[in-house]
Amino acid sequence: MDIIEKIKNRALDLSVPIIRDGGAEILTALLRERRCAKILEIGTGVGYSGALMLSAAKNASLVTVEIDGVFAELARSFFREAGLEKRVRLIEGDATEAVLLMDGGFDFILLDGPKGQYERLRPYLVGLLNPGGIIFADNALFKGYVEDFYIRRKHRSIVKSLKAFIENMRNDARFRTTLSDAGDGILIAEYIKTE
């Protein structure tokens, strides 16, 4: 069993959400076709998508943010085991605070943290992205709730935030944005024009 499969299986054992297979295929294909030097990931989990991205983008480095200390430590151990630790900077903390301290220069941003924070993070992530770079948001359709007429009360604030995120990315003339129903919904926004 290779290390990426091992990380995936461990995540599934622990019920840690990971990118679905269809989304993972799109993610790795995009990274293979682009020459990314610097990747930002919001939501490390146990390191599955981080390891996937670094295996697809052989010359890239990764900055990844995880709020859960147990997951962060497990991800560190997996990155070491995979021989990726020199290419990874793992920040343990809240992404809404961490992004404020970053310098930017990212070619690719994977947004896979708390879904209710996507819209709040959006302006900061745009500021961290190089022209020509991509924001890849996983779970953009949130179990189909974003497209449902009736939304359960406990999901309303997350769905409202995701709808605002999608609408604002689609209406931002600096980006070419597509929304796919692959996986749990994937929004891909390419930064095509500077202000």
Q: What is the pTM of this model?
A: 0.89
- By CB atoms closer than 10 A (0-12, 13-18, 19+), residue 182 is middle
Predicted confidence (pLDDT) per residue in 74-85, tens digit: 999 999 999 999
DSSP H helices in 14-108:
21-33, 48-56, 69-81, 95-98
- Each residue's pLDDT tens digit, 77-128: 999 999 999 999 999 999 999 999 999 899 999 998 777 788 899 999 999 9
Question: What is the maximum span of the chain, computed from C-alpha positions, in angstroms?
Answer: 47
Reduced to 3 states, what is the DSSP secondary structure of residue 4? helix
76 vs 46: CA distance, rounded Å: 8
> Could you give the domains of the chain?
3-191 (3.40.50.150)
* Beta carbons within 8 Å of 82's beta carbon, 6+ residues apart: 3, 4, 7, 51
